[in-house]
């Protein structure tokens, strides 16, 4: 009977201990019953010693700490802890990009409440790699070729296309010095070529197709690290010719748009006076368009600050067929609703005075020294099929283009 009471008493203690511990938030006290068999020799008052096996219950209380794993909630995209990464390819001066990019980030934050982090990877390849490596929180301002490569590599999706003064496209230009003796495409055979980058659509891919079509093989290719630098390289005589983007000029009184079918790429030369650069960085000929003059918008406009005589010492040899404008693209897993919100905010910003007419000294996405956007419009992947065609026609692979 005593043994039974001990068992029931012990069991009761165990039950009470269990319920007491169950109320604790993280530390769980677990009671184990350990049965130990002990063999003892007991002297019994008989003539013969008989070994008697006695079983006793030994109760041992063991306290175990159970660590409760609490899954931290995912940090929201666009928060201070997880800002949206905005990547710009290094097509113009990096300091200009960072300044204008941060201005853009501030404007988008004011509208969306989201946080953005601006950076300029070292190359087109690095930009694409960054978007593919971080698919759910990156935005890339990448040109047509960069978009196509990123889309094929990891499914990067296009959102907006740039608009420049009403044009949804732009051109490639081939620029030479006036004293170079180069008068035709054929004269470029064997000549030193200054290209912004071998991953630039207008600076390399499209001119390459033009040369292939004409049966021309240029000489050494010098990567200059941006369109402005390519224009400076040819102006300074470091290369025989250079390629870059071409945006058509604005004509007097805005009476009509430049017509690629009939107008010379440098129609402004008809005014008979050289271009002049304003303090705001704009390049006019015979005054601005509202004064009956022209506004020059090709890549040499940004180079004029460093080389004031660039328009007087160089000229455009020829331009290409139109090219789809640069894109605003999103990582393949970027949340659709957030992307749509940013696309709308961006469209509103680049058509506003804050972008088009910023205070003096402020660089924006609309500045001549930056990307010179005047608007943005939704676009689709199929708009970049001509670029895919060029890549295939040239027999180029991603490895050929990015040098991987």
Residue 154, domain member (yes or no): yes
Residue 125, domain member (yes or no): yes
Residue 372, domain member (yes or no): yes
Residue 304, domain member (yes or no): no
Do residue 94 and residue 156 come from a single domain?
yes
The pLDDT value recorded for residue 93 is 85
Contacts of residue 141, defined as CB under 8 A and 6 or more positions apart, other chains included, come to 86, 87, 88, 89, 326, 327, 328, 371
Residue (of 94, 159, 160) closest to 127 by Cα position: 94
Which helix or strand (DSSP H or E) is residue 162 part of?
A: strand 157-163
Residue 36, domain member (yes or no): yes
The pLDDT value recorded for residue 259 is 96
CATH classification of the domain holding 339? 3.40.190.10
The pLDDT value recorded for residue 403 is 66
Do residue 36 and residue 88 come from a single domain?
no
Residue 384, domain member (yes or no): yes
pLDDT per residue of the chain (404 residues) written in tens, 0 to 9: 444 444 334 444 433 333 333 434 443 444 444 444 444 444 444 444 545 444 444 444 444 444 334 333 589 999 999 999 999 988 888 899 999 999 999 999 999 999 999 999 988 889 999 999 999 999 999 988 889 999 999 999 999 999 999 998 999 999 999 999 999 999 999 999 999 988 888 999 899 999 999 999 999 999 999 999 999 999 999 999 999 999 999 999 999 999 999 999 999 999 999 999 998 889 999 999 999 999 999 999 999 999 999 999 999 999 999 999 999 999 999 999 999 999 999 999 999 999 999 998 899 999 988 888 999 999 999 999 988 988 888 888 887 777 65
Contact 358, 295 (CB under 8 A): no
The pLDDT value recorded for residue 369 is 85
Residue holding tokens 């990877």? 121
Q: Which two tokens stand for residue 46?
A: 């008989």
Do residue 89 and residue 49 come from a single domain?
no
Q: How many domains does the chain have?
A: 2
Residue 341, domain member (yes or no): yes
For residue 150, give its domain range.
Answer: 84-166+325-402
pTM higher than 0.85 for the full model?
A: no
Do residue 53 and residue 118 come from a single domain?
no
Rounded-to-integer distance, Cα 307 and Cα 91, Å: 18
Residue 360, domain member (yes or no): yes
CB neighbourhood size of 114 (10 A): 18
């Amino acid at each position: 009977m005593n043994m039974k009471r001990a068992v029931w008493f012990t069991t009761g203690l165990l039950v009470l201990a269990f319920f007491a511990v169950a109320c604790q938030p993280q530390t769980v006290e677990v009671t184990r019953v350990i049965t130990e068999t002990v063999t003892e020799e007991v002297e019994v008052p008989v003539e013969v010693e008989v070994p008697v096996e006695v079983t006793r219950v030994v109760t041992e209380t063991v306290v175990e700490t159970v660590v409760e794993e609490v899954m931290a909630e995912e940090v929201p995209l666009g928060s201070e802890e997880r800002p949206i990464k905005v990547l710009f390819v290094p097509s113009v001066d990096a300091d200009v990009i960072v300044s204008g990019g941060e201005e853009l980030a501030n404007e988008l934050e004011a509208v969306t409440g989201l946080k953005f982090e601006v950076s300029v990877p070292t190359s087109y390849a690095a930009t694409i790699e960054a978007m593919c490596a971080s698919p759910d929180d990156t935005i890339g301002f990448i040109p047509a070729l960069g978009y196509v490569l990123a889309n094929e590599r990891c499914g990067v999706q296009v959102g907006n296309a740039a608009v420049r003064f009403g044009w949804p496209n732009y051109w490639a230009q081939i620029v030479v010095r006036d004293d170079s003796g180069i008068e035709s495409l054929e004269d470029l055979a064997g000549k030193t070529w200054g290209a912004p980058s071998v991953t630039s659509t207008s600076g390399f891919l499209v001119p390459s197709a033009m040369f292939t079509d004409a049966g021309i093989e240029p000489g050494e290719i010098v990567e200059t690290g941006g369109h402005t630098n390519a224009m400076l390289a040819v102006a300074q005589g470091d290369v025989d010719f250079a390629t870059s983007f071409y945006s058509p000029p604005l004509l007097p009184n805005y009476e009509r748009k430049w017509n690629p079918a009939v107008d010379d790429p440098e129609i402004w030369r008809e005014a008979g006076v050289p271009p002049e650069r304003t303090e705001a960085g704009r390049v006019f000929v015979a005054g601005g368009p509202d004064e009956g003059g022209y506004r020059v918008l090709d890549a040499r406009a940004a180079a004029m600050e460093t080389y004031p005589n660039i328009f007087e010492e160089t000229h455009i040899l020829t331009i290409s067929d139109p090219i789809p404008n640069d894109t605003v693209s999103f990582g393949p897993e970027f949340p659709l609703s957030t992307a749509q919100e940013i696309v709308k905010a961006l469209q509103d910003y680049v058509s506003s005075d804050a972008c088009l007419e910023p205070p003096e000294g402020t660089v924006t996405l609309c500045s001549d020294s930056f990307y010179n956007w005047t608007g943005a419009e939704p676009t689709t992947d199929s708009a970049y099929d001509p670029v895919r065609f060029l890549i295939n026609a040239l027999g180029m692979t991603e490895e050929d283009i990015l040098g991987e």
